């Protein structure tokens, strides 16, 4: 296996992240050395990597000779001084700023002046780690995700005094492993955790407002938006104790920015030990780490009432398709809302009750249908605060025709999928506004690091930047909450008629 630009890579810390980093760079053709202050930890890390490579040999990824050559590249270090010849040293130890500063100072005493020293920190300020170092220009963050060999994205965190040459060296090193290197400024949450706040915080906000149950929110994000998991499934996977701390940390570090406001629902659940899969119960109950999925009972469609009279709002985006559905079902359409038994409306960012009042419609007969494109796999129906059971059942019967899957929610500005996606797009726009990362890096980091079906700014273009802006503006108008204020970056591009993927002008 020919390799170019081989390096000697040192890893300090033989835990889960350290072992993954060792495996990644050994398989990329580099000599790797691992040091851990705990007794026998370095040897155990080497044995773990050997076992993983052995499995790859058994699966046919490598020949026996290739596997042995890869394993030979991993060398446990007895003392930190054994890392003296390393071209780069990656620290992967406890998230404690004082401990990291001491370790970095010790590494500087050992390695050459040309060696790069990086931290795998996920939450600490890299500039603060570098502050105690003699050469802060060679200090950076190199944030991997677990499991390291499988998660194909790595964040390169450029601290305030990190040199451009250090960043470029790290970019080339990461690229040689087959992973995607994304460059991010030394800001709270860096890039991936920062961009991921929208799904969590807005999902929790939906629950706070009693718009829908966790299972309904997750179902909508999976089936209607194409996500692998909804926010509550992800919180159970990562552990609410861990995610809760990250939400609080980012909110505090961003000076109580309303976009990142944590939910009051989290702390009582952490106190109760409802962390998720690892405790057997979170938002869901688990048996042998498998979610117990209840049948979808939210919207079993009743029979269409005889003689139903339907009125469709003239401004509804899907007016023609709703009319065709009604015609196929034999439902009579009327031209006056006063004559109708069921009023069907569609909107962006409003709530059903407010829309009824603004348009002079009878809220007791009104049901809203989410017009977001691509939601035909699962339709979302929203009730006003006073929608009658009769109007509700008529809407369920009509839109459930042919076995269509439905989710019924309570009154909400922006439905569920609209508001979550708009929040995700808005946070990504603000990341671009602040220059934390490039558009291309934002897109790839979110797809690879968070597993979203597409990047956040691509989502914005798919929905339409103008629609995203409308959703945010209307949500802010209804709630008065500054968390929904649109990013100026988003607003400017919409006003100029630009794609959200359009890069900044070169200066």
Backbone angles phi, psi at 345, to 5 degrees: -130, 160
5 noted as active-site residue: no
Catalytic residue, from 27, 91, 108, 122: name it.
Answer: 122
193 noted as active-site residue: yes
Catalytic residue, from 119, 120, 193, 353: name it.
Answer: 193
Contact 387, 356 (CB under 8 A): no
Of 401, 420, 376, which is closest to residue 224 (Cα–Cα)?
A: 376
Of 226, 202, 231, which is closest to residue 216 (Cα–Cα)?
A: 231
- What residues form DSSP beta bridges with 8? 31
Helix (H) or strand (E) holding 344: strand 342-345
- Quote the CA–CA distance of 506 and 298 in Å, as a whole number: 52
- What residues form DSSP beta bridges with 309? 332
CB atoms inside a 10 Å sphere around CB 134: 11
320 noted as active-site residue: no
DSSP state of 285: B
Tell me if residue 297 falls in helix, strand or coil.
Answer: coil
- Quote the CA–CA distance of 311 and 146 in Å, as a whole number: 53
- What residues form DSSP beta bridges with 381? 369, 408
Contact 32, 75 (CB under 8 A): yes
- Quote the CA–CA distance of 442 and 464 in Å, as a whole number: 18
Contact 180, 153 (CB under 8 A): yes
Contact 177, 25 (CB under 8 A): yes
Return the ∠ at Cα 236 (arms to 210 and 274), rounded to 5°: 80
120 noted as active-site residue: no
- Quote the CA–CA distance of 455 and 425 in Å, as a whole number: 9
- Quote the CA–CA distance of 309 and 343 in Å, as a whole number: 9
- Quote the CA–CA distance of 218 and 235 in Å, as a whole number: 11
DSSP state of 374: T
Catalytic residue, from 143, 233, 337, 384: name it.
Answer: 143
Catalytic residue, from 27, 31, 91, 155: name it.
Answer: 155
Backbone angles phi, psi at 463, to 5 degrees: -70, -40
**Could you write out the three-class secondary structure of 90-143?**
EECCCCCHHHHHHHHHHHHHHCCCCCEEEECCCCCCHHHHHCCCCCHHHEEEEE
- Quote the CA–CA distance of 373 and 421 in Å, as a whole number: 12
The residues annotated with a catalytic role in the active site are 122, 143, 155, 193
């Amino acid at each position: 296996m020919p390799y170019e630009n081989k390096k000697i890579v040192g890893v300090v810390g033989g835990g889960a992240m350290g072992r993954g980093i060792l495996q990644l760079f050994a398989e990329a053709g580099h000599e790797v050395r691992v040091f851990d202050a705990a007794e026998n930890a370095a040897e155990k890390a080497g044995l773990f990597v050997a076992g993983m490579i052995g499995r790859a040999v058994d699966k046919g990824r490598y020949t026996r000779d290739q596997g042995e050559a890869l394993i030979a590249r991993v060398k446990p270090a007895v003392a930190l001084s054994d890392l003296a010849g390393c071209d780069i040293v990656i620290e992967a130890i406890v998230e404690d700023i004082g401990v990291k500063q001491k370790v970095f100072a010790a590494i500087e005493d050992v390695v050459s002046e040309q060696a790069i020293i990086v931290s795998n920190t996920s939450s600490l300020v890299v500039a603060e780690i570098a502050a105690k170092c003699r050469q802060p220009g060679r200090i950076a963050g190199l944030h991997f995700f677990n499991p390291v060999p499988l998660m194909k994205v790595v964040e390169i965190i450029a601290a305030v005094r990190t040199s451009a040459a250090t960043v470029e060296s790290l970019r080339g090193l990461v690229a040689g492993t087959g992973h995607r290197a994304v460059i991010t400024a030394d800001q709270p949450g860096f890039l991936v955790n920062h961009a991921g706040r929208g799904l969590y915080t807005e999902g929790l906000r939906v629950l706070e407002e009693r718009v829908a149950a966790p299972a309904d929110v997750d179902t909508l994000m999976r089936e209607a938006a194409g996500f692998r998991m909804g926010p509550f499934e992800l919180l159970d996977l990562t552990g609410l104790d861990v995610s809760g701390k990250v939400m609080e940390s980012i909110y505090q570090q961003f000076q109580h920015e309303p976009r990142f406001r944590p939910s009051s629902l989290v702390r009582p659940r952490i106190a109760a030990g409802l962390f998720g899969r690892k405790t057997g119960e979170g938002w869901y109950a688990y048996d042998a780490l498998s979610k117990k999925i209840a049948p979808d009972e939210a919207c079993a469609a009743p029979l269409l009432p005889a003689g139903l009279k339907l009125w469709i709002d003239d401004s509804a985006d899907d007016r023609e398709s709703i009319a065709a559905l009604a015609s196929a079902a034999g439902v009579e359409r009327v031209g006056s809302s006063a004559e109708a038994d069921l009023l069907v409306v569609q909107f962006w960012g409003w709530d059903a009750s407010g829309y009824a009042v603004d348009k002079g419609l009878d809220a007791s007969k009104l049901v809203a249908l989410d017009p977001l494109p691509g939601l035909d796999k699962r339709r979302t129906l929203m009730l006003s605060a006073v929608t009658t059971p009769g109007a509700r059942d008529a809407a369920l019967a009509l839109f459930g025709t042919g076995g269509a899957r439905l989710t019924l929610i309570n009154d909400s500005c922006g439905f569920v999928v609209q508001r979550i996606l708009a929040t995700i797009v808005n946070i990504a726009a603000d990341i671009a506004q602040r220059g934390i990362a490039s558009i291309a890096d934002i897109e790839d980091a979110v797809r690879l690091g968070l597993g979203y079906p597409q990047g956040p700014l691509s989502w914005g273009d798919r929905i339409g930047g103008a629609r995203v802006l409308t959703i945010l503006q209307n949500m802010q108008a209804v709630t008065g909450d500054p968390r929904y204020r649109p990013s100026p970056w988003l607003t400017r591009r919409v006003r100029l008629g630009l794609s959200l993927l359009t890069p900044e002008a070169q200066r």
